[in-house]
Copies of this chain bind each other. A is one copy, B any other.
Amino acid sequence: MKKLIKGLREFKANYVSTHQELFEQLSQGQKPRVLFVTCSDSRVDPNLITQADLGELFVIRNAGNIIPPFGATKGGEGATIEYAVQALGIRQVIVCGHSHCGAMKGLMKLHSLRDEMPLVHDWLKYAEATRLLVKEHYTQYKGEELLEILTAENVLTQIENLRTYPVIRSKLYQGQLKIYAWIYNIEKGEVLAFDPETHAYVLPQSQLKSDDTDERRLKEEFLNGNNIKNNISEQETAVDPPQEFFYDVHQRFPITRLSKDQMDRIYRGSRRN
């Protein structure tokens, strides 16, 4: 605690004093462009890993970066999502899981938690879709590999849950919202983003090229008067890597449509590079 208080002093002395303009501006209000949903894990720091400034990320953090389906709880997740989209007009959501996630480990030994940590046990109910999906379709994996698959699939499960919120559904419907699936690898300090084209988590940078192509395609569609696309490409830079993701989200389910080989790549993705 002493260290934290020293930190408060250093922050003010070294950071605040050198960012007067920023703080002046922040006192006027916040205009974050991204809702960042991630785990409470102390090894994950959204602003640090994205090098985002104060004022850029609106953040939800809980054990397991879980988003209960609309109506399932009266907890803070739904209210904060509603506030982000409705009050702040945020149009991009990143759901970011991470390697070595304690919540995902808990999901692997759920029963043992019932008495030991009843609230955690009940909370993981909202990741049950992940547990069942992985149990039924990744029977051959164990230990570390299984944990990686759970973590990767859980981000997609939570995005499904996120899509049940009225404000999210309505904005998605008009193509005014984008949702990104990320995994943060703690030991490498590196993020992989879900790429629906390859059905794998890959380095976002690796997608930039294909996005240029994508950008061209969007431009053409625009010339062809595709207004929805038009709106999207106006709304933000057309090089958002997982651009295709959302069309893909609509097509993709059930994941079991993937070939065994494709499935493997989902988690191999997070071990490549």
Contact = CB atoms under 8 A, between A and B. Distances in A.
A270 B148 contact: yes
A142 to B, nearest CB: 12
A224 interface: no
A164 to B, nearest CB: 4
B83 A266 contact: no
Interface string A233-259: 000110111000100110111110010
B82 A117 contact: yes
Given A42-B59, A129-B169, 20 more contacts: A1-B180, A1-B240, A2-B240, A3-B52, A7-B49, A11-B50, A15-B48, A23-B186, A30-B42, A40-B59, A48-B54, A60-B62, A69-B71, A71-B72, A80-B123, A87-B102, A118-B128, A148-B271, A192-B273, A200-B266
B66 A42 contact: no
A174 B34 CA distance: 32
Nearest to A162: B164
A42 B53 CA distance: 9
A273 B24 CA distance: 18
Given A16-B189, A148-B271, A174-B137, A199 B156 contact: no
Contacts of A186: 23, 26-27
Nearest to A57: B42
Contacts of A262: 199-200
A216 interface: no
Q: Which residue of A131, A137, A178 has the most chain B CB atoms within 10 A of its CB atom?
A: A137
17 contacts: A1-B92, A1-B236, A4-B94, A7-B49, A16-B190, A24-B187, A26-B43, A45-B54, A62-B62, A68-B75, A68-B76, A83-B120, A87-B117, A190-B273, A199-B258, A202-B273, A249-B252
A236 B56 CA distance: 34
Given A70-B129, A254-B199, A8 B204 contact: yes
Copies in the complex: 4
Nearest to A30: B42
B82 A183 contact: no
A100 B41 contact: no
Given A86-B117, A240-B1, A201 B23 contact: no
A165 interface: yes
